[in-house]
Amino acid sequence: MATVISFGIQKGGSSKTTTSGIVAHILSAEYGKKVLAVDLDSQGNLTELLTQEDIYVFHQRTVFEALQEQDARKYIHKVTDRLDLLSAEDHLARFPSWLYGSYRGNRSLVLKQTLESVQDDYDYIIIDTPPALGDQTINALAASDAVVAMFEASKFCYSALGRFLETCVHVQELANENLKIAGILRSLIDSRRTDNKALIELVEEEYEDLCFETIMTRTAAIGRLSINGFTNNPELKAGLKQYRLFVEELINRV
């Protein structure tokens, strides 16, 4: 049965999508694991990052349709031999209105039920979430064995972090007692900026045991990944260095 890992924080631009895409890539391409990446953000950034396609290509063949049927099987796209994708595009924005209008059942557990049909086909399921504590994020947490809280060094993200972790605890209490908070990943760090350093240390002091040791710095190669993609990208190997250390830590924790 797959280990399900979500990446979240309600602050946009915190490297959720980049990190979940890279983790899915490393687990499948370097560890030889069978991986399903799930894009739960209607922006479809993970879909675009992994496929390098316009997200409208996936219209009516996305995670939203899978959620409505509570069955993922028909909607899985093959990215590589070992990496599959449940895609997203703009229409996923209608998930809450579908959830509160037409769905009868536990509204936190729709994704969990949807993934049950494919749980046994994968070693890992990696879920990218939108920058909000809404129904998609709650469903991701309820379906996960572990969650990584993303932290980019800004005051707004610092404010978001405590509330995100509280939300995880609520989900543990109400919907998924098995959810483990794998840790806080500090990302997009500019080591030359003293305010970045101060915020990293503040998070370290406050959440000592939760922080991953690996800290992700901002690099040009990873900044260009959304443009260049994962195939035939000569700067990828070097760009993934820090991410490999993180994946090792992550695997040990989950």
Q: Which residues of the chain form contacts with ligand ADP (CB under 6 A)?
A: 12-18, 45, 131, 188, 216, 218-219, 222-223, 226
CA triplet 205, 208, 210: central angle to 5 degrees? 140
Cβ distance to Mg ion smaller for residue 32 or 96? 96
The yes or no reply on residue 17 touching Mg ion (CB under 5 A) is yes
Closest-by-Cβ residue to Mg ion is: 17
Residue 10 CB, shortest distance to Mg ion, in Å, is: 11
Beginning with the edge strand found earlier in the chain, give each strand of the sheet holding 76-78 in spatial order. 76-78, 83-86, 35-39, 124-128, 3-8, 146-152, 180-187
Alpha-carbon radius of gyration of the chain: 17
Minimum gap (Å) between residue 18 Cβ and ligand ADP: 3
Binding partner of residue 105 among ligand ADP, Mg ion, none, CB cut-off 5 to 8 Å per kind: none
Which of Mg ion, ligand ADP, none is residue 12 near (CB under 5 to 8 Å by kind)? ligand ADP
- Alpha-carbon span 120 to 15, nearest angstrom: 28
Least gap, CB of 235 to ligand ADP (angstroms): 12
Query: Which listed range, 20-28, 44-52, 54-62, 100-108, lies at the site for Mg ion (CB under 5 A)?
Result: 44-52
Contact predicate 44/87, CB 8 Å: yes
How are the residues of the chain apportioned to helix, strand and coil, as percentages rounded to the nearest 5? 50, 15, 35
CB of 136 to Mg ion, least distance (A): 11
Q: Which 81-110 residues touch Mg ion, going by CB under 5 A?
A: none
Nearer to ligand ADP, 175 or 189 (CB): 189
Q: How far is the CB of 105 from ligand ADP (least distance, A)?
A: 29
Q: Which tokens in the block code for residue 248?
A: 């090792």
Full 3-state SS string of 46-95: HHHHHHCCCHHHHCCCCHHHHHHHCCCHHHEEECCCCEEEECCCHHHHHH
Residues that bind Mg ion (CB under 5 A): 16-17, 45
